Protein backbone atom coordinates (compact mmCIF):
# COMPACT_ATOMS: atom_id res chain seq x y z
CA UNK A 1 0.00 0.00 0.00
CA UNK A 2 1.56 3.24 -1.15
CA UNK A 3 1.56 6.18 1.18
CA UNK A 4 -0.41 9.05 -0.19
CA UNK A 5 1.21 12.48 -0.11
CA UNK A 6 -0.66 14.93 2.04
CA UNK A 7 -2.00 17.82 0.06
CA UNK A 8 -1.84 21.22 1.77
CA UNK A 9 -4.85 23.45 1.59
CA UNK A 10 -4.46 26.33 -0.89
CA UNK A 11 -4.54 28.97 1.84
CA UNK A 12 -1.64 27.37 3.74
CA UNK A 13 0.45 27.14 0.58
CA UNK A 14 -0.28 30.81 -0.16
CA UNK A 15 0.68 31.94 3.35
CA UNK A 16 3.95 29.95 3.23
CA UNK A 17 4.81 31.48 -0.15
CA UNK A 18 4.18 35.00 1.15
CA UNK A 19 6.28 34.40 4.27
CA UNK A 20 9.22 32.98 2.26
CA UNK A 21 9.00 35.87 -0.23
CA UNK A 22 9.07 38.37 2.65
CA UNK A 23 12.05 36.67 4.33
CA UNK A 24 13.96 36.55 1.03
CA UNK A 25 13.18 40.24 0.32
CA UNK A 26 14.44 41.26 3.78
CA UNK A 27 17.67 39.29 3.31
CA UNK A 28 18.24 40.86 -0.13
CA UNK A 29 17.53 44.37 1.22
CA UNK A 30 19.74 43.91 4.29
CA UNK A 31 22.79 42.41 2.59
CA UNK A 32 22.67 42.60 -1.21
CA UNK A 33 20.76 45.42 -2.97
CA UNK A 34 18.65 48.30 -1.71
CA UNK A 35 16.67 50.95 -3.56
CA UNK A 36 17.09 54.63 -2.63
CA UNK A 37 15.24 57.78 -3.66
CA UNK A 38 17.22 60.99 -4.37
CA UNK A 39 15.54 63.80 -2.37
CA UNK A 40 17.82 66.76 -3.16
CA UNK A 41 19.68 68.44 -5.99
CA UNK A 42 23.16 68.01 -4.49
CA UNK A 43 24.20 65.56 -7.23
CA UNK A 44 22.73 67.41 -10.26
CA UNK A 45 23.23 66.70 -13.15
CA UNK A 46 24.41 63.15 -12.38
CA UNK A 47 21.42 62.35 -10.15
CA UNK A 48 18.34 64.54 -10.15
CA UNK A 49 15.62 65.08 -7.56
CA UNK A 50 13.26 62.10 -7.67
CA UNK A 51 15.70 59.67 -9.31
CA UNK A 52 15.57 56.17 -7.90
CA UNK A 53 18.76 54.17 -7.70
CA UNK A 54 19.99 50.74 -6.63
CA UNK A 55 22.89 50.36 -4.21
CA UNK A 56 25.12 47.27 -4.01
CA UNK A 57 25.33 46.81 -0.23
CA UNK A 58 27.62 43.77 -0.53
CA UNK A 59 30.25 45.58 -2.63
CA UNK A 60 32.37 46.75 0.32
CA UNK A 61 33.01 43.12 1.26
CA UNK A 62 35.07 42.75 -1.92
CA UNK A 63 36.52 46.18 -2.80
CA UNK A 64 37.31 49.47 -1.10
CA UNK A 65 35.59 52.60 -2.43
CA UNK A 66 37.37 54.22 -5.35
CA UNK A 67 37.74 57.91 -6.11
CA UNK A 68 34.91 59.15 -8.30
CA UNK A 69 32.38 56.46 -7.36
CA UNK A 70 28.95 57.49 -6.06
CA UNK A 71 28.00 56.10 -2.63
CA UNK A 72 25.04 56.11 -0.30
CA UNK A 73 26.07 56.47 3.34
CA UNK A 74 24.73 57.33 6.76
CA UNK A 75 25.02 61.08 7.28
CA UNK A 76 27.72 61.58 9.95
CA UNK A 77 25.74 64.28 11.77
CA UNK A 78 22.48 62.26 11.93
CA UNK A 79 22.96 58.50 11.40
CA UNK A 80 19.21 58.06 10.82
CA UNK A 81 19.51 59.87 7.46
CA UNK A 82 21.10 58.58 4.28
CA UNK A 83 23.06 60.83 1.92
CA UNK A 84 24.40 60.23 -1.57
CA UNK A 85 27.66 61.86 -2.69
CA UNK A 86 30.77 61.15 -4.72
CA UNK A 87 33.99 59.76 -3.18
CA UNK A 88 36.59 62.49 -3.67
CA UNK A 89 39.45 61.58 -1.34
CA UNK A 90 40.63 58.25 0.03
CA UNK A 91 42.43 57.34 3.26
CA UNK A 92 45.95 58.79 3.23
CA UNK A 93 45.21 61.47 0.59
CA UNK A 94 46.24 65.04 1.36
CA UNK A 95 43.42 67.41 0.39
CA UNK A 96 42.87 71.10 -0.16
CA UNK A 97 40.15 73.06 -1.92
CA UNK A 98 40.99 76.52 -3.19
CA UNK A 99 38.70 78.70 -5.31
CA UNK A 100 36.48 75.68 -6.02
CA UNK A 101 39.32 73.44 -7.24
CA UNK A 102 39.99 70.22 -5.33
CA UNK A 103 43.65 69.33 -4.89
CA UNK A 104 44.57 65.73 -4.05
CA UNK A 105 48.20 65.24 -2.99
CA UNK A 106 49.00 68.65 -4.49
CA UNK A 107 47.48 67.98 -7.93
CA UNK A 108 44.17 69.42 -9.17
CA UNK A 109 41.49 66.74 -9.43
CA UNK A 110 39.87 66.32 -12.86
CA UNK A 111 36.12 66.41 -12.17
CA UNK A 112 34.17 66.28 -15.46
CA UNK A 113 30.98 65.40 -13.51
CA UNK A 114 30.95 68.83 -11.80
CA UNK A 115 28.96 71.15 -14.05
CA UNK A 116 28.05 73.73 -11.39
CA UNK A 117 31.26 75.10 -9.86
CA UNK A 118 31.67 77.39 -6.90
CA UNK A 119 34.55 79.38 -5.40
CA UNK A 120 34.75 77.50 -2.08
CA UNK A 121 38.11 77.65 -0.28
CA UNK A 122 38.96 75.61 2.81
CA UNK A 123 39.61 77.68 5.92
CA UNK A 124 40.78 76.36 9.26
CA UNK A 125 37.82 75.33 11.40
CA UNK A 126 36.83 72.91 14.14
CA UNK A 127 36.18 70.32 11.40
CA UNK A 128 39.48 70.96 9.59
CA UNK A 129 42.03 72.43 12.03
CA UNK A 130 44.83 72.10 9.46
CA UNK A 131 44.75 73.00 5.77
CA UNK A 132 45.72 71.03 3.74
CA UNK A 133 44.68 67.95 5.70
CA UNK A 134 45.21 64.20 5.36
CA UNK A 135 42.27 61.79 5.23
CA UNK A 136 42.48 59.40 8.24
CA UNK A 137 42.49 55.61 7.83
CA UNK A 138 39.01 54.20 7.31
CA UNK A 139 37.57 57.60 6.29
CA UNK A 140 36.54 59.27 3.02
CA UNK A 141 35.80 62.80 1.84
CA UNK A 142 32.47 62.88 0.02
CA UNK A 143 31.30 65.85 -2.09
CA UNK A 144 28.20 66.52 -4.17
CA UNK A 145 28.46 67.16 -7.90
CA UNK A 146 26.34 70.33 -7.62
CA UNK A 147 28.90 72.13 -5.44
CA UNK A 148 27.05 75.42 -4.84
CA UNK A 149 24.02 73.45 -3.59
CA UNK A 150 25.53 70.54 -1.69
CA UNK A 151 25.71 70.01 2.06
CA UNK A 152 28.75 67.73 1.95
CA UNK A 153 32.07 66.83 3.55
CA UNK A 154 33.38 70.39 3.19
CA UNK A 155 31.05 71.30 6.06
CA UNK A 156 30.80 68.17 8.25
CA UNK A 157 34.00 66.23 7.63
CA UNK A 158 34.60 62.59 6.81
CA UNK A 159 32.49 59.46 6.29
CA UNK A 160 33.76 56.31 7.97
CA UNK A 161 33.89 52.80 6.48
CA UNK A 162 31.13 51.55 8.76
CA UNK A 163 28.72 54.26 7.57
CA UNK A 164 29.02 53.37 3.88
CA UNK A 165 25.86 51.64 2.61
CA UNK A 166 27.31 50.88 -0.82
CA UNK A 167 27.93 52.24 -4.31
CA UNK A 168 25.13 53.39 -6.59
CA UNK A 169 25.26 51.06 -9.57
CA UNK A 170 21.98 51.61 -11.43
CA UNK A 171 19.29 54.28 -11.89
CA UNK A 172 15.91 52.63 -12.56
CA UNK A 173 13.67 55.71 -12.48
CA UNK A 174 12.68 57.84 -14.33
CA UNK A 175 12.43 55.61 -17.37
CA UNK A 176 13.98 58.17 -19.72
CA UNK A 177 17.14 58.20 -17.53
CA UNK A 178 17.49 54.47 -16.82
CA UNK A 179 21.11 53.36 -16.74
CA UNK A 180 24.41 53.55 -14.93
CA UNK A 181 25.02 57.01 -13.42
CA UNK A 182 28.54 58.25 -14.03
> Taking a C-beta distance cutoff of 8 angstroms, is the pair 144, 153 a contact?
no
- Respond yes or no: is residue 85 known to be catalytic: yes
d(CA 3, CA 78): 61
Q: Which of 57, 85, 139, 150 is catalytic?
A: 85
The active-site residue, picked from 42, 57, 139, 150, is 42
Q: d(Cα 21, Cα 7) in Å, to the nearest integer?
A: 21
Told to judge if 139 belongs to the known catalytic residues of this protein, a careful annotator would answer no
| CA atoms of 130 and 107, how far apart (whole Å) | 18
Cα torsion for 162, 163, 169, 171, to the nearest 10°?
160
Strands (E), 28-132: 33-37, 52-56, 70-74, 82-89, 94-98, 101-104, 107-108
Instruction: Give the catalytic positions in this structure.
Output: 42, 85
Amino acid sequence: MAAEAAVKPWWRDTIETIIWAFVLAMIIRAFIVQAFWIPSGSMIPTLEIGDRVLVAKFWNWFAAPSRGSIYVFRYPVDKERDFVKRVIALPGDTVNISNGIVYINGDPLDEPYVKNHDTFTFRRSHVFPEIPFTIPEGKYLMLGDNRPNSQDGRFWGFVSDEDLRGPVFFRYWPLNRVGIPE
